Amino acid sequence: MSIKTEKDKLIAILFEKHPVLVDQWAKSAPIIVNITVPWSPVTGNPAEGPVALVTTAGVHLKSQTPFDMEDPEGDPSFRVIPSTSFTTDLTITHNYYDHGDADVDVNVVFPIERLDELCAEGTVGRVAPRHFSFMGHIQGGQLTRLIGQTAPTVAAELKKDGVRAVLLTPA
């Protein structure tokens, strides 16, 4: 394990145990401050679907290339998670939060099974064919790539799937 990985994981554990540290970091961190808010009005009941999940928890199929943990500006690429995936097909690559509990139950960060259950019960009409996953902690030039390329690409793919509601989960 590299020194960077060890340092990142230690900070992640501290942030999980002490939320006040997250807040102190957030107040001074170079986070983009937006003034305006984009808005798409809801028509009908969005739970009728298709409903898709988008997470920044670093979830991906075991068969997919892991997110890059060595670039200090993060990895703005995304992974397509077919909604038919089993949780046993999934893993997490993300050193900037402690995913010990999410490794036990991925629904803690990516509620793929809970969404299927709501669909089976009739609360959700249809689940989208594809969910999407990023890793958080994107900075600098990679943030530009996220905003200009990969996030709009995922938005276009969701449109192609006819998605009518997206729930997003951080980590």
Partner 1 sequence: MGLIQRAIEEAGIPTLSISLNRTITEKVKPPRAVLVGYPLGHPLGRPCDKKTQKSLLQESLTLLRDIRVPGTLVDASDRYRFNGTLIPPV
Residue 103 Cβ, how far from partner 1 at the closest point, in Å?
9
Give CA–CA dist 88/146, Å, rounded. 28
Q: Judged by CB under 8 A, which of 1, 3, 36, 86 binds partner 1?
A: 36
Q: 4 or 18, CB closer to partner 1?
A: 18
Say how far apart CA 168 and CA 15 lie, in whole Å. 21
Q: Give the residues across from 132 on adjacent strands.
A: 54, 80
- 163 forms part of the interface with partner 1 (CB under 8 A): yes
Note whether 132 and 78 are within 8 A (CB).
yes
Q: Which residues contact 51 (CB under 8 A, 6 or more apart)?
A: 115, 124, 125, 126, 127, 128, 163, 164, 165, 166, 167
Site string for partner 1, 71-110 (x = CB under 8 A): --------------------------xxxxxx-xx-xxx-
Provide the binding-site residues for partner 1, judged by CB under 8 A: 12, 15-17, 19, 22-23, 26-27, 29, 31-42, 45-47, 51, 54, 56-57, 97-102, 104-105, 107-109, 111, 114-115, 117-118, 123-124, 134, 136, 143, 146-147, 151-152, 154-156, 158-159, 163-171
